[in-house]
């Protein structure tokens, strides 16, 4: 399986199983990464950076607004500086996640939480990114952590995120996500104007 196909498969899996805005944003992340890899073979650092930029564009968040980008942006910078060292990226993401304790929320549900509560824990999206990169870095070192995988499943499993509802789809439809993606993944490269989900 090619790298672009893998990114596309991950995006589709996240979209179909992960509820809320996080599912939509991570779908955008991996589809943007796929687009980059189609034109820049095996440039995973560039794919990560492209995904981070796509999330910022789609969600409107910036560094310091208490979101997953507060872990992703430091991780992207660490990857670029280190030439793709996932251990350094994971450490940067964790530092970024912990820093969100001191931030005022500018986006997401945290905007409606008392500030005193926000200081007790890092932003969930940023922490999820840090856990994900930690798991990847340990896999890269051939020491994959059972605890990191367990925590990742707890954070990402749709039943965990929406215990009391039947919602399993993100708030942004898949068709809309496809529309905002750049070429060659967006619909601008297709002759048809409408598609079924199975075609995308």
Same domain, 68 and 154: yes
| Average pLDDT of every residue of the chain | 75
Same domain, 15 and 45: yes
Count of other CB atoms within 10 angstroms of residue 7: 24
Identify whether 164 is part of a domain: no
User: Stretch 162-191: mean pLDDT, rounded?
Assistant: 47
Count of other CB atoms within 10 angstroms of residue 187: 17
| pLDDT tens digits along 9-38 | 988 888 888 878 888 899 999 999 999 999
Q: Which domain holds residue 22?
A: 1-60
Identify whether 96 is part of a domain: yes
Same domain, 103 and 152: yes
By percentage, how much of the chain surpasses pLDDT 90? 32
Peptide bond into 178 cis (omega under 30): no
pTM for the whole thing? 0.68
Q: What is the CATH number of the domain that holds 154?
A: 1.25.40.340
Same domain, 69 and 50: no
What's the number of domains the chain is made of? 2
At 104, the pLDDT band (50, 70, 90 cuts) reads: confident
Same domain, 70 and 116: yes
Same domain, 107 and 142: yes
Same domain, 35 and 74: no
Count of other CB atoms within 10 angstroms of residue 119: 12
Q: How far apart are CA 14 and CA 169, in angstroms?
A: 9
Least reliable range by pLDDT among 25-34, 54-63, 128-137, 175-184? 175-184
Same domain, 80 and 53: no
Same domain, 56 and 67: no
Same domain, 95 and 54: no
C-beta of residue 110 within 8 angstroms of C-beta of residue 118:
yes
Identify whether 188 is part of a domain: no
Domain boundary among 60, 78, 97: 60
Q: How far apart are CA 195 and CA 191, in angstroms?
A: 10
Same domain, 56 and 110: no
| pLDDT tens digits along 127-159 | 999 999 998 888 766 544 455 555 555 555 544
Identify whether 175 is part of a domain: no
- Of residues 12 and 105, more confidence is placed in 12
Q: Which long-range contacts (CB under 8 A, 24 or more apart) does 189-192 make?
A: none
Identify whether 112 is part of a domain: yes
């Amino acid at each position: 399986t090619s790298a672009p196909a893998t990114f596309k498969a991950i995006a589709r899996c996240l979209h179909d199983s992960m509820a809320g805005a996080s599912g939509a944003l991570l779908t955008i992340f991996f589809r943007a990464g796929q687009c980059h890899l189609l034109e820049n073979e095996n440039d995973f650092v560039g794919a990560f950076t492209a995904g981070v930029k796509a999330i910022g564009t789609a969600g409107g968040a910036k560094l310091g607004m208490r979101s997953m980008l507060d872990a992703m942006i430091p991780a992207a910078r660490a990857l670029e500086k280190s030439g793709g060292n996932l251990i350094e990226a994971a450490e940067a993401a964790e530092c970024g996640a912990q820093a969100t304790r001191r931030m005022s929320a500018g986006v997401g549900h945290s905007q409606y939480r008392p500030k005193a509560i926000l200081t007790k824990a890092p932003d969930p999206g940023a922490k999820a990114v840090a856990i994900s990169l930690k798991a990847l870095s340990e896999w890269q070192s051939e020491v994959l952590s059972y605890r990191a995988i367990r925590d990742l499943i707890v954070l990402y499993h749709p039943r965990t995120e929406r215990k009391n509802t039947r919602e399993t789809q993100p708030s942004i439809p898949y068709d809309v996500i496809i529309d905002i993606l750049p070429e060659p993944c967006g619909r601008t490269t297709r002759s048809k104007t409408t598609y079924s989900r199975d075609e995308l």
